[in-house]
């Protein structure tokens, strides 16, 4: 039986010059204020914003930078009301008109940081393997660099992670359910990746 498609990405173009590199928590707090129901959606996620190489304590944005919310299908239209919203995240950030985008369940999936409460690589991988088994997802794990994010109760620590050798059904399930905690600050969210080579450098 194929996996039901329950989630989509809602993609907002961004207008702004730069962000603080520690933007994930302030971004989540601002979005939660604008969309209070977002806190109630356990599997909803805010994907990391891509930009150029950080300059000191700033993430430089480009014309292709986007805010992506991964949401249950029934919340997509409600979240469109964020269009035109201006956020003060150390500099003004304005959200454009969004479009919905289907998930891409390819055989390699990557997350820049996964948080499972383990700071030692071997223990982290074992915990991730158990979590994947709970999701009934089968794939091979490649651990990358240690990473940290500021959360509401303090710093959270994890590693970047590649999961590859996935069937389309398992890749979709991983994208929809995520792995570990702190998905509202971009942790444990997976996107399609072309290769498992050099994941530690990503």
Q: What is the CATH number of the domain that holds 43?
A: 3.30.70.1890
177 lies in a domain? yes
91 lies in a domain? yes
Strand pairing partners for 114? 159
SS3 state of residue 87: strand
Predicted structure pTM score? 0.90
Residues 91 and 129 in one domain: no
What is the domain count for the chain? Answer: 2
Given 70, 101, 132, which residue is the final one in a domain? 101
148 lies in a domain? yes
Residues 42 and 93 in one domain: yes
- Residue pair 61/19 in contact (Cβ under 8 Å)? The answer is yes
Residues in the chain, how many?
Answer: 202
Domain that holds residue 85: 7-101
Given 101, 117, 151, which residue is the final one in a domain? 101
Residues 133 and 160 in one domain: yes
The pair of three-digit structure tokens given for residue 49, joined into one six-digit string: 């914003």
DSSP 131: H
Residues 119 and 170 in one domain: yes
Given 101, 132, 152, which residue is the final one in a domain? 101
80 lies in a domain? yes
72 lies in a domain? yes
DSSP 84: T
SS3 state of residue 193: coil
Residue indicated by tokens 């359910």:
177
* Distance in angstroms (rounded) separating the CA atoms of residues 179 and 37: 21
- The pLDDT, as a whole number, for residue 3 is 62
pLDDT digit string (tens) for the chain, length 202 residues: 456 669 999 999 999 988 888 999 999 999 999 999 999 999 999 999 988 666 678 888 988 899 999 999 999 999 999 999 999 887 789 999 999 999 999 999 999 999 999 999 999 999 999 999 999 999 999 999 999 999 989 999 999 999 999 999 999 999 999 999 999 999 999 999 875 544 443 4
Residue 121: which CATH number?
3.30.70
1 lies in a domain? no
Cα dist from 182 to 39, 55, 189, whole Å = 12, 25, 9
């Amino acid at each position: 039986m194929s996996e039901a498609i329950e989630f989509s990405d809602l993609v907002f173009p961004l207008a702004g010059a730069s962000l603080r590199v520690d933007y994930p928590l302030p971004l989540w707090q601002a979005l939660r204020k604008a969309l209070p129901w977002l806190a109630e959606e356990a599997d909803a996620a805010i994907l990391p914003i891509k930009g150029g190489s950080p300059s000191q304590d700033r993430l430089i944005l480009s014309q292709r930078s986007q805010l992506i919310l991964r949401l249950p299908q029934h919340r997509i239209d409600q979240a469109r009301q964020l269009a035109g919203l201006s956020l003060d995240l150390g500099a003004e950030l304005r959200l454009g008109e969004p479009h919905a985008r289907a998930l891409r369940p390819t055989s390699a999936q990557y997350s820049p940081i996964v948080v499972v409460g383990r700071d030692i690589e071997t223990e982290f991988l074992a915990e991730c393997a158990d979590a994947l088994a709970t999701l009934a997802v089968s794939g091979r794990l490649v651990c990358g660099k240690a990473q940290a994010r500021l959360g509401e109760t303090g710093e959270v620590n994890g590693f970047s992670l590649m999961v590859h050798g996935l069937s389309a059904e398992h890749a979709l399930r991983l994208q929809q359910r995520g792995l570990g905690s702190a998905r509202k600050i971009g942790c444990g969210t997976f996107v399609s990746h072309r290769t498992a080579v050099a994941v530690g450098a990503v």
